A = this chain, B = another copy of it.
Amino acid sequence: MVKRVVAVNMALAVAMSLAAFAGEASDVRVDQQRIADRIERLAHFGANPEGGVSRVAFGEADTAAREFIKGQMREAGLEVRVDVAGNIIGRRAGSDPTLPSIMTGSHIDSVPGGGNYDGDVGVIAAIEVAQILQEHGIELRHPLEIVSFTDEEGSLIGSHAMSGFSKSAALEVVSHSGKTIREGIAAVGGDPDHLDRALRKSGELAAYVELHIEQGGILYEEHTKIGVVEGIVGIRWWDVTVDGIANHAGTTSMNRRRDALVSAAELVLAVNQIANSMPGRQVATVGQIRAEPGAPNVIPGRVVMSLEIRDLEAQKIQQVFEEIEKEAARIAKTRETPIRFAEVKAALEPAPTDPRMRAIISAAADRLGLSHKLMPSGAGHDAQNMARIAPTGMIFVPSVDGISHSPKEFTAPVDMANGANVLLHTLLAIDAGALERR
């Protein structure tokens, strides 16, 4: 009975909040120019000659950019702190002190030779959302936390620590900056010896939402404005070894060869054909290949190559792999070149987003008149860690030509603003109780 009373009170509160939302907040839009300006200012930190940035986590440019972000957060009225994992967190209080925080953000570190949009858009848009709320005097019921995660492009240590999935061995890994993760975290004001204090337990966050560029070409090519992410694909990796017989390329006639590269070539085509022809959105890639001994005048005796398969469903990954294995067995037998698959122990499980979050994001896009579609995220994100402890959603905006991790990466200001508006109205809906209603 007590529960029912609470529920009724909740419903009342939600109704009041929705009324307020309808009156005050539904017409609010982010400031596109301010987003574009901040993206441009952020791009100065670690700018490279090609027009992108090399701003690897814990490097000098990252350290300077972190100070810039803290300043922008303060400008947006946020209370800034750095947690033990080095995550920058800007907080805005809510009207109901009993409610958990809603969190949004992304990261500002880049790959070496990266671009100006990956991660940055999500952080800058989150700050913009906080600032617009501030400027319009819109008070949320929940506290709002804007986060810039530590080392997304390397260890994902920031979101790992926050979601309770950190292994101490990971701290000793040398990051792109040359510092170990441990040294890096300490240098940016974290406390690597007490990473557990970064943990947010399940229930401590009402939701996590991340805006990110698509990093693929689907939205751009289909002229769709918003991607509603169904989940972050799982990944499995294998080292594939094809054994033939190395021999003199001049003295070994064609019909006497056990050429490992010829078999490997057949397998590369099979991998592509299988992933292409099965229904679904799975991808399979051979990105690395080495022929041994690797001389123009020696028939390859061995080929070692990588195989990577991604899909939103672990079962589908397994299914694709089994098809590839079957075809490999046929090639191995026909060409008398044994083929072995050794799985690399680094698989990532698929991380589906919360179905309610997808619906809330889609509804926000609808209200804003923005076309949208459900799609997987083929790349990894901090959201895949946050999904373990909070209802998580992701919003994608178009990447021109699908280019990412490159100085040529580009997302138009209007697309960044579209994404930020969807983020804003998603947060407002969550604050208004949309998660409970769905």
Contacts and interface: CB of A to CB of B under 8 A. Distances in A.
A282 B255 CA distance: 11
B276 A299 contact: no
Interface stretch (A6-14, A213-221, A358-366): A213-221
A262 B268 CA distance: 6
Given A253-B283, A269-B265, A288-B291, A248 B300 contact: no
A312 to B, nearest CB: 11
A405 interface: yes
A188 to B, nearest CB: 26
Interface in A267-312: 268-269, 272, 275-276, 281-291, 294-300, 306-308, 310
The 3 closest A-B pairs by CB, nearest first: A250-B378, A216-B251, A296-B306
Interface of chain A, helix or strand or loop or mixed?
A: mixed
Nearest to A237: B296
Contacts of A307: 296
Contacts of A268: 261-262, 264-265
A300 B248 CA distance: 29
Nearest to A283: B254
Interface in A394-418: 402-405
A285 B310 contact: no
Contact of A253 (B281, B297, B298): B281
A319 to B, nearest CB: 15
B254 A233 contact: no
Given A265-B265, A269-B266, A250 B294 contact: no
B291 A296 contact: no
Nearest to A274: B254
A259 interface: yes
Contact of A297 (B251, B261, B291, B308): B308
Interface of A: 214-218, 221, 233, 235, 237, 247-256, 259, 261-262, 264-266, 268-269, 272, 275-276, 281-291, 294-300, 306-308, 310, 377-380, 402-405
Contact of A287 (B221, B233, B294, B404): B294
A249 B283 contact: yes
A380 B268 CA distance: 33
A250 B380 CA distance: 8
Contacts of A291: 286-289
Contacts of A262: 268-269, 272
Contact of A404 (B251, B276, B380): B251
Contact of A285 (B215, B276, B296): B296
B250 A233 contact: yes
A389 to B, nearest CB: 23
B300 A295 contact: no
Contacts of A404: 247-248, 251
B289 A289 contact: yes
Contact of A218 (B253, B265, B300): B253
